[in-house]
Amino acid sequence: MATESIEIIPMRADHLDKINEIEQQVFTSEAWPIKTYLYELKENQFAHYFSLLKDGLVIGYIGLWIVIDDAQITTFCIDRAYQGQGYGDKLISHCIHDASMRCIRISLEVRESNHSAIRLYRKHGFVDGGVRKAYYGDGENALVMWRYLS
C-alpha cells in the first residue's frame, strides 16, 4: 500500500489555476478571481497564503493577513472531493501555528449556514465574536469568530 504525500507550502502562482477551479466549485458566485490571488501573492505585504498538496496536487488552500499582532483568515477551502477527510484540519492547524509565531489573536468570518466549517473552527478553539449582517452578496450573515493564540 502506497502512502500519500501531504505538503503545506507557500502558495505559488502556478497553483492558481487549480485554486480557481476549487473556488468555482465551492464558492461559485463569490469565488475570488485569479488576479486577486496574484495581488495577494505579489503585492500585499500582509498576506501569507498556503497551498495543501496531496501527492503533488493542490487540494486546498488558506490565506492569512498578519497586521502587527493580529491575524485574519481571508480564505480557506478544501476541494469538495477531499472534504471530510481531515485535510481542512491539517491546514487550519498549520495556519494557527504560523500565526501564533507573531500574533496575539486570529479571526475569521464564516457563513452562518456553514455548520461544518463552524464545527472545525470551534474544534480549534475559535469562539463566536459577533455577526456581520448581510456580509455576503446573497445577503447571508457572517459569523465572526476569533481565538487568542499562545
> Which residues, 6 or more positions from 70, have their beta carbon under 8 angstroms from its beta carbon?
103, 104, 105, 106, 107
Give the largest Cα separation in the chain, rounded.
49
Annotated catalytic residues are 109, 121
Q: How far apart are CA 132 and CA 84, in angstroms?
A: 27
